[in-house]
Copies of this chain bind each other. A is one copy, B any other.
Amino acid sequence: MKKKTGSSLSRKRVLITGGLGFIGSSLARRLVDLDNEVILLDSLLPDGGGNLFNISGIENRVQIHRETMKNEEMVRKLVKDVEIVFNLAGQTSHLGSMQDSKADFEANTFNQLGFLQICRELNPKIKIIFTSTRQVYGHPHYLPVDELHPVSPVDYNGISKLAGELYHTVCGRIYGLHTTCLRLTNCYGPRMRVKDAKQSFIGWWLRQAIEGKKIPVFGNGNQIRDFNHVDDVVDALILCADNPSARGQTYNLGGESVALKDLAQLIVDVAGSGSWELVTFPPERKKIDIGDYQGDYKKIRESLGWQPRVSLSTGILETLDFLRLHQGEYW
């Protein structure tokens, strides 16, 4: 499934914040293969996506620092001599953001502001690729949602991520830092967190299917979402770091879109186990639900040549295989 895209991203010293997480570790694997010196910063918070098993096989080819971005001394040490930062660390749970809003805010906004100040001070030529989220848009006014769509988050996580993203953009515009922001949509693939449904419902669904259980589909199941395989997200991250025209830009990602009940059926079909059922929308989730969403990724396609390559059915099969094989490491 790994695709080398003829990248010039080689022999660089690269920092990945959130580097032991699902996307961070997938990126680390690619960067190590491309012969980069890869440094991972990850706090391995119990509710986060960090997992040491994610780097199994490359553990001796990366440098690992188990620390939060709050640790200013550590960040200063790491930032000062890297060329590129993939700034992926953050709190990603929508529901979690409502339950512990200050922690969400600290992780996604305050720590990011501090991080940017340190970059400005110690390494103003650093390239920073920041992962934001489609959650910043809130309820779409139109589909597919392009980058000009107004932002209007419906939950605290959308606010904290939006503020973190805007700090990157403004810091780039005013202080000349090289920053690029990627607004990710639902991402899935090997090494995703499936311990519970906090970070991603698709991971939870995959696990239910593996365990022969019922996938709970909220509401009428007609809600549209789009999905990116993690390999496609890694492609996008690398293109952003590689291509000078990404500087100062904010890009949507986007992928195959599907109604949630059809996704549940696809998972059950591919897994050959499990089933799905419609369940009442839990009120605390209904309140922060965004309705249908589909991202318009024309801008990054035209600017950087990115497009998703992994089909949902192929990606789901691969992910199920991975999770079945390494079940004990993920739940």
Question: A: which residues have CB within 8 A of B?
Answer: 98, 101-102, 105, 109-110, 113-114, 117, 148-156, 158-160, 162-163, 166-167, 170, 173-174, 287-288
Contacts and interface: CB of A to CB of B under 8 A. Distances in A.
6 contacts: A101-B113, A102-B113, A105-B113, A150-B150, A159-B170, A162-B166
Nearest to A105: B113
Contacts of A170: 153-156, 158-159
A11 B117 CA distance: 48
A98 B98 CA distance: 29
A282 to B, nearest CB: 13
Contact of A105 (B110, B152, B174): B110
Contact of A159 (B110, B148, B167): B167
Q: How many copies of the polypeptide does the oligomer hold?
A: 2
B148 A150 contact: yes
A163 B288 contact: no
Contacts of A113: 101-102, 105
Contacts of A150: 148-151
Contacts of A160: 163
A148 B102 CA distance: 29
A173 B287 contact: yes
A151 B151 contact: yes
A151 B159 CA distance: 13
Given A110-B110, A159-B163, A162-B166, 9 more contacts: A101-B117, A102-B110, A102-B114, A105-B109, A149-B150, A150-B150, A154-B170, A162-B163, A174-B288
A16 B60 CA distance: 58
Contacts of A109: 105, 109, 163
Contacts of A288: 174
A149 to B, nearest CB: 8
A287 B101 contact: no
Contacts of A117: 101
A109 B160 CA distance: 10
A298 B288 CA distance: 29
A102 B149 CA distance: 29
Contact of A174 (B148, B155, B166, B174): B155
A6 to B, nearest CB: 34
Contacts of A163: 109, 159-160, 162-163
A101 B175 CA distance: 13
For A102, A149, A170, which residue has the most chain B Cβ atoms within 10 angstroms?
A170
Scoring A101, A109, A159, A167 by chain B CB atoms within 10 A of each residue's CB, the highest score goes to A159
Nearest to A117: B101
Contacts of A159: 163, 166-167, 170
The 3 closest A-B pairs by CB, nearest first: A163-B163, A159-B166, A150-B150
A98 B170 CA distance: 10
A58 B154 CA distance: 41
Contacts of A101: 113, 117
